[in-house]
Amino acid sequence: MDLVKVLCSDCRLRNLCLPLGLAGKELKQLEEIVKQPRPLQRGQRLYLPGDKFHYLFIVRSGTMKTYTTTSSGQQQIIGFHLPGELVGLDGVSDGNYTCTAETMEMTSVCELPFTKLENVMGQVRVLQRQVHRLMSKELLTDQQLLLQLGKMNAEQRVAAFLLNISCRFHLRGFSASEFHLPMTRSDIGNYLGLAVETVSRQFSHFQEMAVVKVSRKHIIIQKPEFLRLITNLDGKYQQEKEATHC
Amino acid sequence: MDLVKVLCSDCRLRNLCLPLGLAGKELKQLEEIVKQPRPLQRGQRLYLPGDKFHYLFIVRSGTMKTYTTTSSGQQQIIGFHLPGELVGLDGVSDGNYTCTAETMEMTSVCELPFTKLENVMGQVRVLQRQVHRLMSKELLTDQQLLLQLGKMNAEQRVAAFLLNISCRFHLRGFSASEFHLPMTRSDIGNYLGLAVETVSRQFSHFQEMAVVKVSRKHIIIQKPEFLRLITNLDGKYQQEKEATHC
DNA sequence: CGTGAGTTTGAACCGGATCAATTAAGGTGG
DNA sequence: CCACCTTAATTGATCCGGTTCAAACTCACG
């Protein structure tokens, strides 16, 4: 393999990622256990349900999705993972992965052997703290999605989704208002518990309202404050909307 | 305070809980950092969103629920917590709790100062592993719920809910087939993303099918295999059902 | 080019929400 | 201990948001 390893200290994601707060010898300890396998093409899988858990992964570039599969083959997308985000925590619990992790475009990842990582965590308190933070963040993300699936209507879900993606791109140094969605409408629908057609209709709807501009996967958010308003679940906006738009 | 502290070594939950795999000096290290505040009455809160994160809690007896609250006061129940289950992980991420943790009946908990726990984890590898396992388990639980909210219909959600509760009671040494629900129909509905009336109707429906016997909060599961069949999302059962029941 | 996956839009249908009314069960104070 | 009151649960009737089915369209790619 003739790939040059990107050191954490040189990585532009270092402030979103595990190395946050690490320097010098401690950072080196982390760098030593990181492997960087060759990039994966769209549709390749890092792991399948039941695979033995050995590694945590971090997306370095590209995008991944993780999804659970039921006995009957139905699948529910649990999350989309952008650069700097952790993948594989579902395997910690009982030593086997429960999800599938699949790339959505050409993607490269870092690979962390979990037992080695735990060793370093035992020595480096800052790293321990950082890993725990990322684990907990994953819980919050899931809870956010639970709220969307449990209490929001289609309009609110799609608005929340767009805001979420926009915010995460922004954190990574990209534009918050103009970006390219890495996932299909069908993925979005699966993720949000909606039919493809409903997602598409909501996009059209926002476009009619001149809140976003949509052409296929290219998105321009024209009025982010409006999207935020929509995701507020109270009745206030709903009334306003009726007053202004009907 | 005249409460006698229950040592982990004497606790009947020790094999579900953090002490699993610990003994001797290591167990003692854990016991030393555990506090046991006085029992809480129904409806009391361990913490609110925004409260400074200091403790993880473990339910010792009773039941708790955790829920997120939106800007407009809507709430989504994230989980019900039985004895031996961890509460408070949502606070790790940024140092503040994001949920509310509320008791559903007279409940006592153990209280673990998180920084002290992290110290002990650094020294005791088995404990580190166990905490990570429980954190990951929480992720799996959320993902299970996501699948229910995203892909299951009302019948399947309620069936899955009953099976889940039944199984968790069983793990704690209670009957899997006959138990007392600690939560109201409204809580169940909130949790499953259904209206109270729908939950109630599904209970009646299962009763008509002689799959469960329901009287208020007292539940007897007569045909667990049937509930399991229902939660299988494939079309097979749906066709069978139509053949047999119409 | 042509082919197939992804997307959009329309029309009909249905599962679960909502509204409304009744019943049952704790809980409280006399 | 009982009458009263409040909260929880059940059941029926109606309504609507989102699904499903169907068809046309667009674009990337061999």
Domain identity same for A88 and A162: no
- Could you tell me if A156 and A236 lie in one domain? yes
Beta A75-81 vs B108-113: how paired, if at all?
Answer: unpaired
Residues A106 and A205 in one domain: no
In a domain, B169, yes or no: yes
Segments forming the whole domain that contains residue A65? 8-144
Domain co-membership, B224 together with B138:
no
Please check whether residues B40 and B129 belong to one and the same domain.
yes
Q: Note whether A66 and A124 are same-domain residues.
A: yes
**B20 and B109 housed in the same domain:** yes
- What CATH number is given to the structural domain containing B207? 1.10.10.10
Looking at the structure, do residues B168 and B229 belong to the same domain, yes or no?
A: yes
pLDDT at A242: 37
Q: What is the pLDDT of residues A209-237, one digit of tens each?
A: 999 999 999 999 999 999 999 988 554 44
Nearest nucleotide to A154 by CA–C1' distance?
Answer: D18
Total number of domains constituting chain A = 2
A185 CB below 7 A from strand C atoms: yes
Q: Which among B68, B133, B232 is the nearest to A93, CB-wise?
A: B133
Predicted TM-score of the model (pTM): 0.91
Please tell me whether residues B39 and B126 are part of one structural domain.
yes
Q: Does residue A105 belong to any structural domain of this protein?
A: yes
3-class DSSP assignment, residue B96: strand
Residue B193 · residue B152 · CB < 8 Å = no
**Whether residues A89 and A170 fall in one domain:** no
CB burial of B201-234 (b: ≥16 within 10 Å; e: otherwise) equals ebbeebeeeebbebeeeebebeebebbeebbbbe
Burial class (CB in 10 A: 0-12, 13-18, 19+), B245: exposed
Domain-embedded: residue B2? no
Q: Taking a C-beta distance cutoff of 8 angstroms, is the pair B61, B148 a contact?
A: no
- State how far the alpha carbon of A98 is from the alpha carbons of A40, A68, A90, A222, B142, in Å: 21, 7, 6, 39, 13
A154 touches strand D (CB under 7 A): yes
- B73-132 tens-digit pLDDT: 889 999 999 999 999 999 999 999 999 999 999 999 999 999 999 999 999 999 999 999
pLDDT beneath 70: ranges in chain A: 1-3, 233-246
Restricting to B residues 48-107, those with a Cβ less than 8 Å away from any Cβ of A are: 68, 70-74, 76, 78, 89-94, 98-99
Looking at A82, A116, A144, which one is the last position of a domain?
A: A144
> Residues with Cβ < 8 Å from B156, sequence gap 6 or more?
B148, B230, B231, B233
Answer yes or no: is A151 CB < 7 A from strand C: no
| Distance separating alpha carbons of residues A169 and A175, to the nearest angstrom | 7
Query: Based on the domain organization, do B35 and B126 belong to the same domain?
Result: yes
Residues B68 and B116 in one domain: yes
Query: Which value, to the nearest 10 degrees, does the dihedral of the CA atoms of residues A70, A65, A163, A58 take?
Result: 130
Higher pLDDT, B173 or B245: B173
